[in-house]
Amino acid sequence: MAILLIDSYDSFTYNLRSLIETSTGEKVITIHNDSIPYTSLLEFLPYFKAIIVGPGPGHPSIASDVGLIPYLFDGSLEVDIPILGICLGFQSLCLSQGCDVSRLDLIKHGQVYPVNHFSEHELFKGVPQGFESVRYHSLYVPELNDKLVKLASTVEEHNHKEIIMGVGHVDKPWFGVQYHPESICSFFGGQLVKNFMSLANEYNGKLRHIKAYDDVLLKGLCKKTEIPKLITNEVREAPQFFKFKEIDNGKKAIEICDLLNSKESEFVLLNSASFPGDWSIIGLPSASTSVYISHSTDSPDTVTIKKNSVTTQVSLNGGNIWSYISEFISDKLSKNLDTEQGFPFIGGLLGMFSYEEGEFIHVSNLPKLTSSEIPDTKLVYVEDCILIDHSTEKTYITTLNPETDIEIISQLVQSEHTLINSRLSIPTTKIVKPTYEEYTAQFSKCQEYLSNGDSYELCLTSSTEIHIPNNVTSWEIYKTLTLKNPSPYSAFFKFKDCCLISSSPERFVKWDDKHCELRPIKGTVRKTPEMDFNKASAILNTAKEIGENLMIVDLIRHDLYSFLSRVEVQKLMQVEEYTTVYQLVSVIQGQFEKNGYQGIDILSKSLPPGSMTGAPKKRSVELLQQLENRRRGLYSGVCGYWSVDNHSDWSVIIRSLYHYVDDVQNDDSVSVWRIGAGGAITVLSDLQGEWEELLTKLDSALQIFRLN
Ligand SMILES: C=C(O[C@@H]1C=C(C(=O)O)C=C[C@H]1O)C(=O)O
Ligand SMILES: NC(=O)CC[C@H](N)C(=O)O
């Protein structure tokens, strides 16, 4: 026997599923509200003890927002099924019984309120008065009619108005709550679900016969939402070949790369020279063993491979880029090599994925960024690396290739070199920034979507173009940026068709065989001489900043719970200091299970990063696409590595510059580089504040340029 959970494409659904499973021990089958027609669902209903109708964007009266949900409440069944509606589900229940659904005058997204309950109702048994719960809603039910009884409420602080937070039907086994019991900041959510199931069991015992759980039948029902695993084969115990050598070398990663650059030796660099990344990784592509993998969302069905200087187009044969790279690496993949040195990377894939490579984006509706197709996935497989451990200041040369002569690399790295003077600033011929007028119009559109209940938070972003004369090299730009804005996830990737220079402060996901860790940043305060840590902490400890961060923490928990059953928030909203800003950071960890999903499954289904979209993710991405009407390209994507021993780390591409090979002006004498910048817009945002925040973030990279 099971519980049916109906998802309205919300970003918190799997948090709810986990809450139901852990509090009741029941199996949960999840479907979308439009997975099947209601008439087809009818034959499955006798197998379910109860239905939980989850939250979601939109309005309960809009058919495309709620799908089959209204039919559940039309009273046409001979014997009713117990139903608990949450937020949009609650509003749908109230609307179906003839109550109005109106818009709140002060909308609450990600805000904690004390809730009181009444008449000692079973639904709130064991729940104290004034229990804290998170509200994510624009709409509310102002008044109940005689079919529904008020079971809980909260009070608005601005007008002391009571807002209904819980209802029960007078003669049907239907209940609803307006708040989100599954949020990380809600209490007694599990108790509520447990109480609902006791009520449901009591009702079922008297009136319903529930059919025994039928795995095949019910799996057929949820076919649409089940995600296949990307790695299916047994991975080897250890890499086929691995060798390393510690070298005596005082050079920093940037000095080694400068040396390689001066010798025209190819390299890619992940330069985590400061907390929380404590290693720098230099990948050394080689003509014989390296493989370049490119994929463009404009040609979704093929991937371009370059190996031994030969380029081939490979059909994905019905798969996608994720199945391709998983297959590519699967015969090389081994269990974590737990070396004494704790190498994060021993060879494998290094590179990046663009925003458009993520879910829910309809690229064909967007204008192209350059005249030719741009890569949305750009990876290089390398077997030779230089690794620098910043905690011990030790340098290692590593290889997966028995043919590699580590001595040759050691000698190269150890050869005499002084850092070639970096430029204090980079000359530009033109900088095209977003305009305040355009931003104002987009900001007010965001507010409209937020107040209609279509989104709880929208990460609105802009693009700035920088025209740089071609006599300035990308490596020079990198050196200047990393000097002015050192960051934990600094990176330099130069490929034939694109280049990325990142000074990102934000980890997206890191994984090994056992865990994955996500580290969203949301909440930003500019550093000035007057702004110290304590003052910034006070600003970051307000409803606006907490709400922004909380929404993304809940969204990421959902992304992880869609694959894993053990997810933990290890840090909730801590203030961290960076070169130009203070940021509010949370850390969420998920644990992998034996023979279950792995890190690559999570990465493939969690892009774009929630901190760059807002929540609910699907609807927010769609709205942002309409609003921004441009490709974000590498900005808002991720860059990092996947080691063949299944250690992996990806950062969010922000505070970064990027360039595509065709993006040139004036007969190729000037290259166009781009920087994206933006921030989360919520109902508590103010236009001026958000605009300044955007400029602050933009400045973290823009500060290195001067107009010629
Ligand atoms: C959108 C950007 O940053 C994102 C938005 C943040 C915010 O709204 O506070 C903070 C960090 C990033 O997740 C950017 O840097 O352009
Ligand atoms: N969290 C939700 O389910 C929100 C429901 C509805 N879209 C509102 O804003 O009120």
Q: What is the mean pLDDT of residues 529-557?
A: 94
Q: What is the ipTM, given to two decimal places?
A: 0.97
DSSP 211: P
603-650 pLDDT, tens digit per residue, is 999 999 999 999 999 999 999 999 999 999 999 999 999 999 999 999
pLDDT at position 523: 86
Angle at 393 (CA atoms; ends 390, 395), nearest 5 degrees: 100
- pLDDT-based confidence at 226, cuts 50/70/90? low
- Is the overall model pTM greater than 0.90, yes or no? yes
Residue 180 catalytic? Answer: yes
- pLDDT-based confidence at 300, cuts 50/70/90? very high
Q: Using the predicted structure, report yes or no on whether residue 391 has a pLDDT greater than 90.
A: no
More confident residue, 65 or 11: 65
With a pLDDT cut of 90, the percent of the chain lying above it is 89
Q: What is the mean pLDDT of residues 540-552?
A: 93
HSE-CB for 565 with a 13 A CA cutoff: 10
Among 606, 611, 658, 614, residue whose Cα is nearest residue 634: 658
pLDDT at position 419: 85
Of 59, 137, 182, 498, the catalytic one is: 182
Characterize 75-97 residue by residue with b for buried, 16 or more Cβ atoms within 10 angstroms of its Cβ, and e for exposed. Answer: eeeeebbbbbbbbbbbbbbbbbb
692-707 pLDDT, tens digit per residue, is 999 999 998 999 999 8
Q: What is the mean pLDDT of residues 49-72?
A: 98
pLDDT at position 214: 86
Q: Using the predicted structure, report yes or no on whether residue 666 has a pLDDT greater than 80.
A: no
pLDDT at position 276: 55
The secondary structure of the chain in percent helix, strand, coil, rounded to multiples of 5, reads 30, 35, 40
Atom of ligand 1 nearest to the CA of 552: 13
User: How far apart (Å, rounded) are the C-alpha atoms in residues 391 and 91?
Assistant: 54
Contact 162, 128 (CB under 8 A): no
The ligand placed nearest to the CA atom of residue 521 is: 1
Span from the CA of 450 to the centroid of ligand 2 (angstroms): 10
Span from the CA of 376 to the centroid of ligand 2 (angstroms): 33
Q: Does any ligand 1 atom lie closer than 6 A to the CB of residue 544?
A: no
pLDDT at position 6: 97
Atom of ligand 1 nearest to the CA of 635: 16
User: How far apart (Å, rounded) are the C-alpha atoms in residues 12 and 60?
Assistant: 18
pLDDT at position 248: 86
Among 509, 494, 499, 508, residue whose Cα is nearest residue 282: 494
The ligand placed nearest to the CA atom of residue 141 is: 2
Compute how many other C-beta atoms are within 10 angstroms of the C-beta atom of residue 645.
28
3-state secondary structure (DSSP) of residue 402: coil
pLDDT at position 278: 85
User: How far apart (Å, rounded) are the C-alpha atoms in residues 277 and 615?
Assistant: 28
556 φ/ψ sector (left φ>0, alpha ψ -120 to 50, else beta): alpha
- pLDDT-based confidence at 184, cuts 50/70/90? very high
Span from the CA of 94 to the centroid of ligand 2 (angstroms): 13
Q: How far is CA 638 from the centre of its chain?
A: 10
Among 84, 27, 93, 82, residue whose Cα is nearest residue 203: 82
Q: Using the predicted structure, report yes or no on whether residue 595 has a pLDDT greater than 90.
A: no
Q: Using the predicted structure, report yes or no on whether residue 532 has a pLDDT greater than 70.
A: yes
Q: What is the mean pLDDT of residues 92-115?
A: 97
Among 177, 208, 216, 167, residue whose Cα is nearest residue 48: 208
353-380 pLDDT, tens digit per residue, is 999 999 999 999 899 999 899 999 999 9
32: CB partners within 8 A, 6+ apart: 6, 7, 8, 9, 67, 224, 225
Among 602, 620, 486, 618, residue whose Cα is nearest residue 548: 620
Residue 87 catalytic? Answer: yes
Residue 7 tokens, joined: 């998802």
User: How far apart (Å, rounded) are the C-alpha atoms in residues 106 and 684?
Assistant: 9
Average per-residue pLDDT in the chain? 95
